[in-house]
Chain A
Amino acid sequence: MKKVKALILRTAGTNCDYETQAAFEMCSAVAERVHINSLIENKDKIFEYDILAFPGGFSYGDDIASGKVLANEIKNKLGDKIKKFSLSGKPVIGICNGFQVLVKMGLLPEPKLFEQVSTLSYNDSDKFECRWVYLKTEKKVKNESNCIWTKNLPDIITLPVAHGEGKFIPVNFKLLEELNKNNQIVFRYSTRNGAIPEYPLAPNGSVEQIAGICNTKGNIFGLMPHPERYMFALQHPAREGFDGEYGWGKIIFQNAVDFVK
């Protein structure tokens, strides 16, 4: 059987590319770390892949604002290709800095729009925060979210966050309503029981505790927490895992690989 291929796009300051590669490999995909310069040299190379991942880090030092420089570079030099890839329905994920890039490029919340309508701004604590949090996964009464990445997750999961600019803010109330209506808000910071948390369990002050969103079609997923850092139980602070072995990240990456298959 053909192996699923994931492209992990990196540039100066990317730093979660190895563990993101490892995460896809643990889900039996082939994952390649590709520098943006080489993709710009050969733009159609992107279509050789089934999954596109924007890993965490500090792209270009997060100068100006987190993810902004890389977002502009991608939009200017690879815009058409990225848009085409995204609209084709193939899985796309942006983690932490990658989420910031997706949002600032405008691929989220809607790739058809391809325009920045939300942002990830400085944490309310005004500090970089590295800690584990509870996340409430989207479970709508009427209809399940379309998000292909978050299927089969329980109501509450734990993942680590590590960021200084993670406060999600949509451009207006209308957009927030739409995100809610379309079940695009797939992760919210929560207490262990699913209640609305305070700092530090709400690590950044996001509007409506938003930690991760997807597009309406459900193939593009952006989140501040790091699923690639919780692939196996040993990575958990108390060594917890499902089936005694795996972390919640395993389900997330496996979802995308299975979707392609």
Chain B
Amino acid sequence: MKNKTSCRTIEILNLSDKELIDLSAKNVLSLSLDEMKSVQPYFRKLKRNPTDVEIETIAQTWSEHCKHKTLTGIIEYTEEKYSKKTKRTYNNLLKETVFKATMELNKKWCLSVFKDNAGIIEFDAKNGVAFKVETHNHPSALEPYGGSATGIGGVIRDILGVGLGAKPLANTDVFCFGNPDTKDSQVPEGMHHPKRIAKGVVAGVRDYGNRMGIPTVNGAVYFDDGYMANPLVYCGTMGIIPKNKIDKKVNSGDLILVVGGRTGRDGIHGATFSSIQLDQESDVSAVQIGNPIVEKKVLDTMLKARDLNLYRAVTDCGAGGLSSAIGELGEKTGAIVYLDKVPLKYDGLVPWEIWISEAQERMVFAVPPKNKKRIVELFKKENVEAVFVGEFTKDKKLTLKYNGHVVASMDMSFLHDGIPKPKRPAVCKIKEEKVQKPIKMTSADLSKTLKSALSDLNVCSKEWIIRQYDHEVQGQTIVKPLQGTDIEVSGPGDASVIFPYTSVNGTKKGVVLSNGLNPSYGKINTYKMAASAIEESLRNAVAVGADVEKMSLLDNFCWGNPNKPEILGSLVRAANACYDMSKAFDIPFISGKDSLHNEYSIGGKKYSIPPALLISAMGVIENAANTVTMPLKNDGNKIFVLGVTRNEIAGSVLAKIKNIKDGIVPVVYPKESKEVMKRIYKAINNGLIESCHDCSEGGLAVAISEMAFAGDKGVKVDIDAIRTKGKLSAAEILFSESNGRFIVEVIPENESKFREIFKSCVFAEVGCVTEDKYVIFESTKNKIKVKEKSRNLLKAWRNTISW
């Protein structure tokens, strides 16, 4: 093979529309007719047909995965509310919503937003912290273990490839799966059973994350049958980077250095395949194969090279492989690459395969010629392969050579800007929500419902997963994902805090990570889903002691087929909620990613997933020691509920358990809740709060129970004391999922100072911590008394997932 050019010419100059489409489909190019028709004139002008290398390069560069062409394209949106229609055209949806809010807020502590591999905010005078969350859905559906392992491996490389490289401090992971108890006969043909997917995905993240020595500290799992054949796998990484290493610039004449793993045939067409629906014919060779130790070696060595200023720019090889990495770095300069110099895992790869392979653990560096010898020696010292494969030019062209022959020659401007803007219609009919009939339940029924809620798949303990991750490696996880006053009990922490004492000498600061996700609201109203996810992520962070003025957000949209107007319309609504909430809370988005085309076909029928917007939040805490956990601490302390409980049952855990169809989806009241959040920060920093827990899935009943069993305590709560809006039944008060609420524990001596801080907010003292280890909810008005042993509730919460 090696002595031949091994490259074919692809006839396109004289193809008809139909032939163009066939060509795109046959070669998994995922290019639309419009796009194919933009390629044709370019080569007509050059008076030749393209090579296979060129066609593949265009397909990768223009892929949904790399270009996000749906959301950067034109969207003609129609919204219908009470049969009144409003229209709006978006020329670039994200720029006009999420990104726009960030620009308008213009926070000076946002150091790098929406332009690099991750968003970066200020940590202290010398350092920034970077955060990125990615999805790896399609690979995980086909090969759960390999798919999720390379998902986490990929997002870690995003952090290594941001600026001149950040040091990873923590990972996050959020999954959506089908019901793990599904009968085999109900699993669609050719698809893996959801439990097998769940186990494989967890094992993949575990083995990769643990071997990288990065603690996996925050996450969530959401079960819904809509994700049966198309699971969602979100992986995130946070890292720390010196402020003077944030900028990168490629100069003409810099050498192109490929470092790390070798190139093989794994992960061919990963980028383009992500724009195609899944079915039983989907090709597993599109999934990459990971080797965490190779990536760990790259991490160990590249940060040394960074600190010695041996390179000018770096990026990771992700989707599209070298084609995307070098194409991106050389966009402004041009580049020449000798494909025969790329180290291969084995012989037999043809040039286009070398160029687009998504083989893992590879980073691309721009190295000034004077550092040529030093940088390679540095890598070699720790057995890391580093090979020069070309250089950045000044001709603004991409030239690829193989064994002396030119196999591709295209203008960078055509590659990056030649893609036609697609135009898509989007519609959204806003469903009217109405309050359900009053939910009346007896004490016994309430007790049973409480246990059902605690053992519900979307509420129950995820300990089986969390403990398989080394969430304490690096020794910096000072607010942990599972929290208990004793090591034998535990409850769900709202957020995790990393105290980076080994990276930043003498620091007192911490980094908080949290998330918000609730697809069940999105089935009814994606605007409210998005708003609630944003608020939930903030609430979670604030509950452990985050300063709400120092928070930043990441968006990850996972949606169905955007060619269906109502699906795209629901996404437009969610994006609008992001803009509105970001502005109202005065909190910027710093990075994001979308994964569309989450659609699968069973027996010829196509299904889209329930839309899922994951919001990940990161913030800097001034004094990491001033953080709190959620377990109740001491008998006799008082329990307060902050915020208003409204009749908001739609999409709730209660609605699922009791099969309630009507109801209002929780609304976000940004002004009201931000006031509460600011004051919690103040109260925590004044030492006035012993424990704090956010109130979300399962409402007050679940949140208070969790605090009790995590502290191995009892608690007595007066339902009648809880502040509500309107008249609610006991069941509605206990299980409503209204946003903006927290439960806090206060020592009696601190009560007056505590009340003083919250005097302008809605709150109430609702009970106290008791020594008898019973959880009691009582209403004299409604003659209700729920009484359960704290340990029994812990059991209900713990036993659902123990595989």
Within 8 A of B (CB), among A183-218: 192, 201
Cβ–Cβ contact B478 & A12, under 8 A: no
Cβ–Cβ contact B467 & A15, under 8 A: no
Give the interface centre of A60, A61, A237 by most chain B CB atoms within 10 Å: A237
CB of B625 within 8 Å of the partner chain: yes
Cβ–Cβ contact A234 & B478, under 8 A: yes
Please name all residues of chain A whose beta carbon is closer than 8 Å to the beta carbon of B211 when the two chains form the complex.
13, 15, 58, 61-62
Instruction: Please give me the residue from chain A that is nearest to B464 by CB atom.
Output: A127
- Would you give the shortest CB distance from A132 to chain B, in whole angstroms? 4
CB of A162 within 8 Å of the partner chain: yes
Cβ–Cβ contact A237 & B480, under 8 A: yes
**In the complex where A61-B293, A162-B473 touch, is A237 in contact with B483 (Cβ < 8 A)?**
yes
A134 to B486, CA, bound (A): 11
Within 8 A of B (CB), among A39-92: 56-58, 60-62
- Would you give the shortest CB distance from A12 to chain B, in whole angstroms? 5
- Would you give the shortest CB distance from A38 to chain B, in whole angstroms? 7
Cβ–Cβ contact B293 & A130, under 8 A: no
Render B490-511 as a binary contact track against A, CB cut-off 8 A, 1 for contact.
0000000001011100000000
Within 8 A of A (CB), among B26-61: none
Pick from B472, B483, B487: contact of A229, CB under 8 Å: B472
A127 to B624, CA, bound (A): 32
Cβ–Cβ contact B470 & A130, under 8 A: yes
A179 to B471, CA, bound (A): 33
Instruction: Please give me the residue from chain B that is nearest to A160 by CB atom.
Output: B472
CB of A1 within 8 Å of the partner chain: no
**In the complex where A38-B381, A57-B213, A129-B467 touch, is A16 in contact with B473 (Cβ < 8 A)?**
yes
A99 to B382, CA, bound (A): 23
Within 8 A of B (CB), among A207-238: 226, 228-229, 231, 234-235, 237-238
- Would you give the shortest CB distance from A229 to chain B, in whole angstroms? 4
CB of B212 within 8 Å of the partner chain: yes
A61 to B503, CA, bound (A): 24
Instruction: Please give me the residue from chain A that is nearest to B206 by CB atom.
Output: A128
Please name all residues of chain A whose beta carbon is closer than 8 Å to the beta carbon of B369 when the two chains form the complex.
none
Cβ–Cβ contact A12 & B210, under 8 A: no
Cβ–Cβ contact A130 & B383, under 8 A: no
CB of B488 within 8 Å of the partner chain: yes
A71 to B550, CA, bound (A): 47
Pick from A19, A35, A56, A160: contact of B502, CB under 8 Å: A19
Please name all residues of chain A whose beta carbon is closer than 8 Å to the beta carbon of B212 when the two chains form the complex.
15
CB of A107 within 8 Å of the partner chain: no
A127 to B666, CA, bound (A): 39
- Would you give the shortest CB distance from B692 to chain A, in whole angstroms? 15
Please name all residues of chain B whose beta carbon is closer than 8 Å to the beta carbon of A238 when the two chains form the complex.
484-486, 629, 631
Please name all residues of chain A whose beta carbon is closer than 8 Å to the beta carbon of B383 when the two chains form the complex.
12, 37
Cβ–Cβ contact B475 & A12, under 8 A: no
Please name all residues of chain A whose beta carbon is closer than 8 Å to the beta carbon of B729 when the two chains form the complex.
none
Pick from B292, B475, B486: contact of A231, CB under 8 Å: B475
Please name all residues of chain B whose beta carbon is closer than 8 Å to the beta carbon of A133 when the two chains form the complex.
487
Cβ–Cβ contact A130 & B472, under 8 A: yes
CB of A158 within 8 Å of the partner chain: yes
In terms of DSSP, what is the predominant structure of the interface of chain A?
mixed
Cβ–Cβ contact A134 & B474, under 8 A: no
CB of B175 within 8 Å of the partner chain: no
In terms of DSSP, what is the predominant structure of the interface of chain B?
loop
Please name all residues of chain A whose beta carbon is closer than 8 Å to the beta carbon of B501 when the two chains form the complex.
22
Cβ–Cβ contact A128 & B502, under 8 A: no
A215 to B516, CA, bound (A): 51
CB of A259 within 8 Å of the partner chain: no
Give the interface centre of B475, B487, B488 by most chain A CB atoms within 10 Å: B475
Instruction: Please give me the residue from chain A that is nearest to B624 by CB atom.
Output: A234
Instruction: Please give me the residue from chain A that is nearest to B381 by CB atom.
Output: A37
A58 to B473, CA, bound (A): 12
Tally B residues with Cβ within 8 Å of A: 42
CB of A3 within 8 Å of the partner chain: no
- Would you give the shortest CB distance from B214 to chain A, in whole angstroms? 8
Cβ–Cβ contact A13 & B296, under 8 A: yes
Please name all residues of chain B whose beta carbon is closer than 8 Å to the beta carbon of A162 when the two chains form the complex.
210, 470, 472-473
CB of A131 within 8 Å of the partner chain: yes
A61 to B207, CA, bound (A): 9
Cβ–Cβ contact B478 & A235, under 8 A: yes
A201 to B629, CA, bound (A): 22
Render B286-306 as a binary contact track against A, CB cut-off 8 A, 1 for contact.
000001110011001000000
CB of B468 within 8 Å of the partner chain: yes
Within 8 A of B (CB), among A1-50: 10, 12-16, 18-19, 21-22, 35, 37-38
Cβ–Cβ contact B297 & A12, under 8 A: yes
CB of B222 within 8 Å of the partner chain: no
Please name all residues of chain B whose beta carbon is closer than 8 Å to the beta carbon of A237 when the two chains form the complex.
480, 483-484, 487, 629
Please name all residues of chain A whose beta carbon is closer than 8 Å to the beta carbon of B486 when the two chains form the complex.
192, 238
Cβ–Cβ contact A130 & B381, under 8 A: no
Instruction: Please give me the residue from chain A that is nearest to B628 by CB atom.
Output: A239
CB of B469 within 8 Å of the partner chain: yes
Pick from A14, A35, A134: contact of B381, CB under 8 Å: A35
Cβ–Cβ contact B296 & A12, under 8 A: yes
- Would you give the shortest CB distance from B472 to chain A, in whole angstroms? 5
- Would you give the shortest CB distance from A68 to chain B, in whole angstroms? 14
- Would you give the shortest CB distance from B586 to chain A, in whole angstroms? 30
A13 to B297, CA, bound (A): 7
Please name all residues of chain A whose beta carbon is closer than 8 Å to the beta carbon of B300 when the two chains form the complex.
10, 12
Pick from B468, B478, B484, B502: contact of A18, CB under 8 Å: B502
Cβ–Cβ contact B468 & A127, under 8 A: yes
Please name all residues of chain A whose beta carbon is closer than 8 Å to the beta carbon of B467 when the two chains form the complex.
127-131
- Would you give the shortest CB distance from A55 to chain B, in whole angstroms? 10
A10 to B382, CA, bound (A): 10
**In the complex where A13-B211, A61-B211, A234-B625 touch, is A132 in contact with B475 (Cβ < 8 A)?**
no
Cβ–Cβ contact A22 & B293, under 8 A: no
- Would you give the shortest CB distance from B624 to chain A, in whole angstroms? 7
- Would you give the shortest CB distance from B509 to chain A, in whole angstroms? 13
Please name all residues of chain A whose beta carbon is closer than 8 Å to the beta carbon of B381 when the two chains form the complex.
35, 37-38
A22 to B292, CA, bound (A): 25
Cβ–Cβ contact A228 & B475, under 8 A: yes
Cβ–Cβ contact B502 & A201, under 8 A: no
Within 8 A of A (CB), among B613-641: 624-625, 629, 631
Please name all residues of chain B whose beta carbon is closer than 8 Å to the beta carbon of A10 when the two chains form the complex.
300
Cβ–Cβ contact B292 & A19, under 8 A: no
A18 to B504, CA, bound (A): 12
Cβ–Cβ contact B472 & A158, under 8 A: no
Please name all residues of chain B whose beta carbon is closer than 8 Å to the beta carbon of A21 when the two chains form the complex.
502
Instruction: Please give me the residue from chain A that is nearest to B214 by CB atom.
Output: A15
Please name all residues of chain B whose beta carbon is closer than 8 Å to the beta carbon of A62 when the two chains form the complex.
211
Pick from B206, B475, B487: contact of A22, CB under 8 Å: B475
A89 to B693, CA, bound (A): 51
A60 to B296, CA, bound (A): 10
Cβ–Cβ contact A201 & B382, under 8 A: no
The 5 closest A-B pairs by CB, nearest first: A15-B213, A19-B475, A132-B487, A229-B475, A61-B293
- What are 9 A-B contacts with C-beta separation under 8 Å? A12-B300, A56-B473, A58-B213, A128-B210, A128-B467, A130-B471, A158-B487, A228-B475, A237-B629
For the A-B complex with A16-B475, A58-B213, A237-B480 known, give 8 more contacts whose Cβ atoms are closer than 8 Å.
A15-B211, A61-B291, A128-B467, A162-B210, A162-B472, A192-B486, A229-B472, A238-B484
